[in-house]
């Protein structure tokens, strides 16, 4: 029985196009996390020069998400699910989900 040249622990090694897609999806998730951090910073620190500079990055980051196409769908779905869970928890209280 011939041994495969790809290690068994590397599932994406068999098809490099899957690796590229996985990298693009993880990059889109990073952009979403960065957007959430910027919005959180602005909400917690109020308007200032630093906040305005950070807010200027929002359109650039949003354009990067749009250009990544379907790779950003995974991150957007996870973000939407987390937002729905957070709103449900805020409405019902922590004990409402038990």
What is the predicted pLDDT for the residue at 1? Answer: 44
The per-residue pLDDT for range 43-76, each reduced to its tens digit, is 888 878 888 888 888 898 888 888 888 878 888 8
Long-range contacts of 75-78 (CB under 8 A, 24+ apart): 75/25, 75/28, 75/29, 75/31, 75/32, 76/32, 78/29, 78/32
> Which tokens in the block code for residue 15?
């098809």
Identify the burial level of 75 via C-beta atoms within 10 angstroms of its C-beta, where 0-12 means exposed, 13-18 middle and 19 or more buried.
buried
What is the predicted pLDDT for the residue at 25? Answer: 82
Name the least confident of 20-29, 60-69, 88-97. Answer: 88-97
What is the predicted pLDDT for the residue at 5? Answer: 59
């Amino acid at each position: 029985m011939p041994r495969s040249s790809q290690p068994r622990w590397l599932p994406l090694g068999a098809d490099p196009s899957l690796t590229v897609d996985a990298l693009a999806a993880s990059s889109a998730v990073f952009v979403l996390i960065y957007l959430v951090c910027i919005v959180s910073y602005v909400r917690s620190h109020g308007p200032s020069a630093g906040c305005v500079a950070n807010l200027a990055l929002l359109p650039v980051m949003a354009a990067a998400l749009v250009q990544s196409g379907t790779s950003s769908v995974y991150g957007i779905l996870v973000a939407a699910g987390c937002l729905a869970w957070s709103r449900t928890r805020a409405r019902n209280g922590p004990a409402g989900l038990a």
